[in-house]
């Protein structure tokens, strides 16, 4: 059975999309960081939901367990597939959790400011704060938690 040949783009189309391709390649680590973070958030929410629904833990304890599980998964996947480091893992894990805690504190403070003091929409505020915290944590983790050893 003959398979259709892959579609080729014209030279003009390739030139038009070259800057986008370059930008995506330049931001590859950040995009992968975000994708891995999505997996961590999904695990966090799954653990939280399972523990709360089963009645095993009250919601704050379940939140702590879910947050820890999601953060640990994010660390493992980022260390292995994104930043490709395998040395000093205990120190890197402690740094990663420290950055996650700092991100949570910034999130807490900004949400209090935007929602509690200014009265902005909760969902818009959460999205804005999430963007700030993701950028903060990515840059801190890139420079601290996953810095290449010399």
| Closest CA relative to residue 77, chosen from 38, 51, 117 | 38
- Is residue 2 in some structural domain? no
The model's pLDDT over 2-26, given as tens digits with 9 standing for 90+, comes to 667 766 778 887 778 777 777 677 7
Record the pTM. Answer: 0.76
Structural domain count of the chain:
1
CA distance 46 to 48: 5
Domain hosting 116: range is 27-145
- Is residue 132 in some structural domain? yes
- Between the alpha carbon of residue 45 and those of residues 38, 41, 71, 109, the distances in Å are 11, 6, 12, 22
- Is residue 32 in some structural domain? yes
- Is residue 94 in some structural domain? yes
The model's pLDDT over 79-110, given as tens digits with 9 standing for 90+, comes to 999 999 999 999 999 999 999 999 999 989 99
**pLDDT higher than 80, residue 46:** yes
* Rounded mean pLDDT, 44-49: 92
- Residue 2: the pLDDT is 66
Burial class (CB in 10 A: 0-12, 13-18, 19+), 142: middle
């Amino acid at each position: 059975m003959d398979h259709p040949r892959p579609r080729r783009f014209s030279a003009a189309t390739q030139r038009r999309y070259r800057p986008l391709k370059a930008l995506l390649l330049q931001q590859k680590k950040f995009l992968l960081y975000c994708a891995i973070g999505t997996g961590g958030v999904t695990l966090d929410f799954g653990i939280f939901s399972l523990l709360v629904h089963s009645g095993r833990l009250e919601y704050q304890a379940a939140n702590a367990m879910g947050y820890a599980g999601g953060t640990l998964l994010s660390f493992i996947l980022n260390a292995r597939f994104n930043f490709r480091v395998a040395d000093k893992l205990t120190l890197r894990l402690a740094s990663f959790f420290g950055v996650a805690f700092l991100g949570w504190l910034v999130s807490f403070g900004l949400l209090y400011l935007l929602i509690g003091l200014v009265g902005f929409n909760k969902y818009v505020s959460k999205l804005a704060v999430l963007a700030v915290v993701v950028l903060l944590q990515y840059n801190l983790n890139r420079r601290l938690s996953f810095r290449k050893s010399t």
